[in-house]
Amino acid sequence: MTDNSPTAAAAHRPSLDAAAHVRRRYAAERRFKAIGLGAIFLALGFLAILLWTIVSNGLSAFMQTYIRVDVRFDAESVAGEDYQGAIKSALYARFPAVESRGERRELAALLSSGADTALRRMLTADPSLVGTTKPVWLVASDDVDMAIKGHISRQPGASGNRLTDRQLGWLGELEAAGTVEKRFNTILLSSGDSREPELAGLWGAVVGSVFSLVITLIVSFPLGVATAVYLEEFAPKNRWTALIEVNINNLAAVPSVVFGLLGLAIFLNFLGMPRSAPLVGGLVLALICLPTIIIAGRAALKAVPPSIREAALGLGASRLQVVNDHVLPLAMPGIMTGTILGMAHALGETAPLLMIGMVAFIVDIPASPLDPSAVLPVQVYLWADSPERAFVERTSAAIMALLLFLGAMNLAAILLRKKFERRW
Amino acid sequence: MSEHTVKSFDEELSHLSNTIARMGGLAEAQLGAALQALGNRDSDLAVRVVAADAQVDELEQEVQHFTVRLLALRQPVAADLRQIVAALKIASELERIADYAANVAKRALVLNQQAAVKPVGAVINLARLVQSILKDIMDAYVEQDVDKAIGVWNRDEEVDDLYTGLFRELITYMMEDPRTITACTHLMFMAKNIERIGDHATNIAETLHFLVVGTPLKGSRPKGPSVEAP
Amino acid sequence: MSHSPSLPAKVRARDINVHYGDKHALKHVDLDIHAHEVVALIGPSGCGKSTFLRCINRMNDQVDSARVTGLLTLDGDDIYDRAVDVVQLRARVGMVFQKPNPFPKSIFDNVAYGPRIHGMARDQAELDEIVMTSLERAGLLAEVRDRLDEPGTSLSGGQQQRLCIARAIAVSPELILMDEPCSALDPIATARVEELIDELRENFTIVIVTHSMQQAARVSQRTAFFHLGELVEVGDTEQIFTNPQHPLTQGYITGRFG
């Protein structure tokens, strides 16, 4: 090419330039990939740190220290229901050298103030125990538990020590005798809340959460699906529906505490529903869920190809038949995924529930959605607020339970989608 | 008509009509040269005419291949289809016309061995008429002129009249002087060939009508008196 | 021609106008469709041929902004009469779409859906009968006899389209509308559908919209050419493809547009 006119030069660019251009293009691509990967690893790193902190803090909460003492079920204390007395006598018998009142109180404090419930349960199960002496494993107090787990120092005389030197000595003695043991913490998984960390359990909060979510599902799913179907399939496209659409999208972005205030005003103050009840919690969470379900539902309905609607209409199906027979079944996996994700989001909500009084200290396991109850995130909040050292690990354990719950719901979402997903 | 969206199709179609026009020109030239050879008793020219017939055959082959290609690759419809089918038909008419011209030249070679006879002039007159018809029809093809084609179609009557007259004249001539029978018989075949060229020209006129208008030329062509019944 | 001009037309369109909002999509269309003939509607995109097709089974009702005026009759009954129930109408006028769109259900349920919603079968045996006959008529039975429970979407594209045709004829329509039924199919599948259209002509009247001129030429007896919302020319297919009368038709079918 000797032609050096500008067009010829443009048509036959020197190959060297082209190679440099290609190199730059590849370099830019590699850079972008590297940044993306970096972002993902950073996120994964934070997640790993978070999980590690929670698990390493909370794992020990699933074990609980027990102390074995030989308890005499004498008829006197059984009749007077003075199990605490029976336990104390057993302890004094174990350490006969302890005589002063102060020392005896310290000795009794090794065991949990709720240890007597175990004796009551034993006797209820087997009344023939009266008059016998049995070795019984009793729940140790939270301080003993912490000491055994190594969370607080067992060095005699250490400053800020929760256990006195004498208590440490007795503990050492008991341990040497093989009568101190860490066992799986069934209390944590089966009891309600308590002021005593060693007696506090998550079960009340779990049941409260389940009740709340069931209410949420019952209320928000039909409402949300009906709204989505109407807006997507039936409503005329005009200014009013556009306005409604904008408002629904905005609702999804409203801070959840506002929904809590709404619930407080309407459900509690106006309708007079019970405070702290999962019923009200569920209703408030349903309000929070609704925009999510409607938006996800509409997206799922939109994703159903119009050709399916046309095919059914062309065969003479009515609009309702088109929706019921074809569109809704096809959109259902998407709607359900959206619903479960919305519910998972609601499960984690704390602020709106504080507004309707679900932050109260509730010991009993709720028997119905009308009973006062806590929920998991609020339980986490309550425990995190408690001063006792033993609540630290229990807070983490509660978070683990919450995460497990969330994971299970997300897994359900994935499984549902896999099961019902159809290709067209 | 406006151009095709696919430009190369336009080019191919115009190549096709150009080939037909070239063939027509060649056939016309062949007829003219044959007449010249006859009128001037020019044997060399007659030999050249006979040899040149191969060119026309070649062109016809080319048109055939080309039309088949266009039919297969372009799947033409409507006017395009008619143009291609018409080209195929006209090419074969022109090939026949060139054949007849070559035959006239061949017979001119034989006549040149004989003494000259008088009716040659009348044959040349007939041929001149057919020649002008052939020229007109090829012009009509190039201009896509239906009126001109219908004019050609109607002028075939003149050819038939002239041919019938010539036929009688030749028979009279042979009866008067039997020595001229050989020459006159050749002239008679020449006249027949030339008359056939006229017929092929009217066929082209009909094809042209179909090409341009899309329908066959209706009505029976005006015929001169039949030679079989003088 | 297979039809006799003295017979009343199956579908009569007189001065049909369609507006989509401000857009005048179909302008003063007059067209007759006779029983047992295949009419092809051709024309460039946006010319109104699909719009006209969708007038016949009132699929345009789905579009909020669409407004149809003029007289359109099926066997003398006004299709756009207030008293006409769209569901009943669509049982008489079946439709096959551009993209094969079987329901994501079994092959059997695909074909059975129409008869079910129209209550055409009294019991399961009758339903089976309808499904089998429809599949047979659509030339699909031999290929799917052993797999009626498999999803319709598992079939090949051509089979899917024939399934859609089976689904349409299962409700025994009088008229079948086809909107570019072969545009997503390969040539072999296309040929099978075209052959099927030819067979179906015995029992049904078919209106087909197509972008393939060759297809219109192959399957139809009459062809109508639309341009910018107007019916430019309608005539016997042979005439349209050898000697179209209107320069626009000529320009379109020979590829000289613009």
A36 within a domain of the structure (yes/no): no
Q: Are strands C93-96 and C175-179 parallel, antiparallel or unpaired?
A: parallel
Share of chain A above pLDDT 90, in %: 29
pLDDT at B224: 47
- Here the tokens at position A275 are 């405070």
Using a CB-CB distance cutoff of 8 angstroms, which residues of chain A are in contact with residue C118? 316
- What is the CA angle C208-C214-C217, rounded to 5? 65
pLDDT level of residue A134 (50, 70, 90 thresholds): confident
Share of chain A above pLDDT 70, in %: 95
Using a CB-CB distance cutoff of 8 angstroms, which residues of chain A are in contact with residue C167? 311, 315
Residue of A nearest to C178 (CA): A314
Convert the pLDDT of each residue in A273-314 to its tens digit.
888 889 999 999 999 999 999 999 999 999 999 889 989 999
Q: How high is the mean pLDDT of chain A? A: 86
pLDDT higher than 60, residue A423: no
Q: Are residues A173 and A207 in the same domain?
A: no
Q: Are residues A250 and A181 in the same domain?
A: no
Q: In sequence order, what DSSP letters do the residues of B143-165 get, joined into one string?
A: HT-HHHHHHHHHHHHHHHHHHHH
Q: Are residues A248 and A175 in the same domain?
A: no
- For residues A273-298, b (16+ Cβ closer than 10 Å) or e, as one string? bbebbbbbbbbbbbbbbbbbbbbbbb
Among the partner-chain residues A237, A310, A316, the one whose CB lies closest to the CB of C114 is A316
Taking CB atoms and an 8 Å limit, are C254 and B214 in contact across chains? no
List the alpha helices (DSSP H) in A95-135: 101-108, 116-125
pLDDT level of residue A133 (50, 70, 90 thresholds): confident
Please, are residues B37 and B49 in contact by the beta-carbon 8 Å criterion? yes
pLDDT at C175: 93
pLDDT higher than 90, residue B102: yes
Using a CB-CB distance cutoff of 8 angstroms, which residues of chain C are in contact with residue A318? 87
pLDDT higher than 90, residue B21: yes
Q: Domain total for chain A?
A: 2
| Residue A61 DSSP label | G
Mean pLDDT of B146-171: 90
Closest among A385, A367, A377 to A405, alpha carbons compared: A377
- What is the CA angle A195-A200-A202, rounded to 5? 135
A165 within a domain of the structure (yes/no): yes
| Residue C151 DSSP label | B
pLDDT at A7: 52
Instruction: Please identify every stretch of chain C with a pLDDT value under 70, giving residue numbers as ranges.
Output: 1-7, 258
Tell me how close the Cα of C248 comes to any Cα of chain A, in angstroms.
Answer: 32
Using a CB-CB distance cutoff of 8 angstroms, which residues of chain C are in contact with residue B80? 254
3-state DSSP call for residue A374? coil
A144 within a domain of the structure (yes/no): yes
Taking CB atoms and an 8 Å limit, are C242 and B9 in contact across chains? no
Residue of C nearest to B82 (CA): C242
Please, are residues B107 and B50 in contact by the beta-carbon 8 Å criterion? no
| Residue B224 DSSP label | P
pLDDT level of residue A14 (50, 70, 90 thresholds): low
A42 within a domain of the structure (yes/no): no
CATH code at position A380: 1.10.3720.10
Q: Are residues A83 and A210 in the same domain?
A: no
Taking CB atoms and an 8 Å limit, are A311 and C164 in contact across chains? yes
Convert the pLDDT of each residue in A208-247 to its tens digit.
999 999 999 999 999 999 999 999 988 888 899 899 989 9
| Rounded CA separation B84/B16 (Å) | 8
pLDDT at C2: 44
Using a CB-CB distance cutoff of 8 angstroms, which residues of chain C are in contact with residue A311? 97, 101-103, 164, 167
Helix, strand, coil percentages, rounded to 5, for chain A: 70, 5, 25
pLDDT higher than 50, residue B229: no
| Rounded CA separation B20/B16 (Å) | 6
Taking CB atoms and an 8 Å limit, are B78 and C241 in contact across chains? yes
pLDDT at B220: 60
pLDDT higher than 70, residue A97: yes
A295 within a domain of the structure (yes/no): yes
Expressed as residue numbers, the domain containing A225 is 203-420
Among the partner-chain residues C243, C247, C255, the one whose CB lies closest to the CB of B6 is C255
pLDDT higher than 80, residue A4: no
Q: Are residues A123 and A259 in the same domain?
A: no
| Residue A326 DSSP label | I
pLDDT higher than 90, residue B89: yes
Q: Which of A136, A159, A185 is the last residue of a domain?
A: A185
E strands within C50-172? 66-74, 77-78, 93-96
Residue of B nearest to C213 (CA): B77
Q: Are residues A392 and A263 in the same domain?
A: yes
Interface of A with C (CB under 8 A): 236-237, 305, 307-308, 310-318, 321, 325-326, 330, 422-424
Q: Are residues A256 and A320 in the same domain?
A: yes
Contacting B residues, span 9-48, partner chain C, CB-CB under 8 Å: 9
Q: Are residues A396 and A251 in the same domain?
A: yes
Residues in contact with C87: Cβ distance below 8 Å, sequence separation at least 6, in sequence order? A316, A317, A318, C118
pLDDT higher than 90, residue B5: no
A55 within a domain of the structure (yes/no): no
Q: Which of A127, A150, A185 is the last residue of a domain?
A: A185
Q: Are residues A217 and A169 in the same domain?
A: no
Chains C and B touch (3+ CB pairs under 8 A): yes
Q: Are residues A387 and A301 in the same domain?
A: yes
Q: How high is the mean pLDDT of chain B? A: 88
A120 within a domain of the structure (yes/no): yes
Q: Which of A185, A218, A241 is the last residue of a domain?
A: A185
Q: Are residues A140 and A264 in the same domain?
A: no
A34 within a domain of the structure (yes/no): no
| Rounded CA separation C65/C21 (Å) | 5
Convert the pLDDT of each residue in B111-147 to its tens digit.
888 877 888 888 888 999 999 999 999 999 999 988 9
Tokens 């709340």, located at residue:
A212
Any C CB within 8 A of B136 CB? no
| Rounded CA separation C26/C18 (Å) | 5
- What is the CA angle B52-B55-B61, rounded to 5? 150
Q: Are residues A106 and A170 in the same domain?
A: yes
Interface test with C, best of A315, A320, A420 (most C CBs within 10 A): A315
